[in-house]
Structure 1
Amino acid sequence: MSYLQTKVLSHAQRVRKLYKEALREIYAHYHERAHVRYWCVMLRAKFDEHKNEPDMRKAKQLLLEGERKLQENRHPFPFKFPHSPGGVAYGRHPPTPDWILDTWHPLEKAQYPEYFARRDVRKREFIERWEKKYGKSEDTHHH
């Protein structure tokens, strides 16, 4: 649930987040490079116009207004990177689980001797840490 906010963001962090999301909205609305660049430059100019605002009340009001405008102008099909959550290729090639390497033939493992030597050490360390924390597992498969 990475979409849930778990910490309070500072004003500067919220401004940066607003800027980044506004750029993504521009990418969703415009497809010609010239239009995208034009609106990105206009957006940056708008942010730079108020970047040294000394009055925090006005800065807060500008931030809230910007967040409101962003929500009002959301594209119905927002821009998503292909491999990001919501993208067309998300989860298409799930990562291979580590235990698959245990099924390799010894001749296959011999092609990568340093890797498998280091992996065996790490695997032993992991098992030792596990047994130290949780105790040895009872083997229920052998009677």
Structure 2
Amino acid sequence: MSARALQTQQVKRLYRHSLKNLLSWAIRRDIFFEEADQLRGEFEKHKDVSDVGQIGRLIQKGEAKLKEYQHPDPYIVPYYPGGSLYARNPPFSKELHQQLDFGREDH
């Protein structure tokens, strides 16, 4: 894999993680969209940089900034591992069967 392709992948990952981190800080959608536009503007500002060394330095600065602004209690989707609903209602074991006959069904 070329250095340029690897850096492109790193930039995409950095942008995605930055958006996820931003969602933990700005939970109201209107504020999130404004902040996301500013974040996108920061990435767009450097889109024409072609020097591999300079791109590497920009990625390092971005990752350091992401680490600095990491939320201490990040938002986790409730049904993902670590979320408040994760495995709350685990599936029944195969030995148990669901009884749907409540006495009103015709036999």
Same fold (TM over 0.5): yes
Among candidates 82, 85, 89, match of residue 86 of structure 1: 82
Q: Which residue of 1 aligns with 2:57?
A: 61
Instruction: Give distance in 2, aligned partners of 1:33 and 1:10.
Output: 32
Q: Residues of 2 paired with 1:14 and 1:93: CA distance? A: 38
Name the structure 2 match of 1:51. Answer: 47
User: Where does structure 2 lack aligned partners over 5 or more consecutive residues?
Assistant: 98-107
Separation of aligned partners in 1, 2:88 and 2:8: 36
What TM-score, normalized to structure 2?
Answer: 0.74
* Residues 52-131 of structure 1 mapped to structure 2, 5 A cutoff: 52-95=48-91, 100=94
Structure with greater helix share of residues = 1
Between the two proteins, what is the percent identity of the paired residues?
31
5 Å matches for 1:125-140? none
TM-score (norm 1): 0.57
Give me the CA root mean square deviation. Answer: 2.2
Q: Which has the higher contact order (CA 8 A, sep 6+)?
A: 2
Match of 1:36 in 2: 32
Q: For the residues of structure 1 that align with 2:71 and 2:96, how far apart are their CA atoms? A: 48
Aligned-pair CA distance for 1:95: 4.9
The alpha-carbon deviation at position 41 of structure 1 amounts to 0.3
**Higher gyration radius (CA):** 1
Amino acid corresponding to residue 32 of structure 1 in structure 2: R
State the number of aligned residues. Answer: 93
Q: Indicate the residue corresponding to 2:100 in structure 1.
A: none
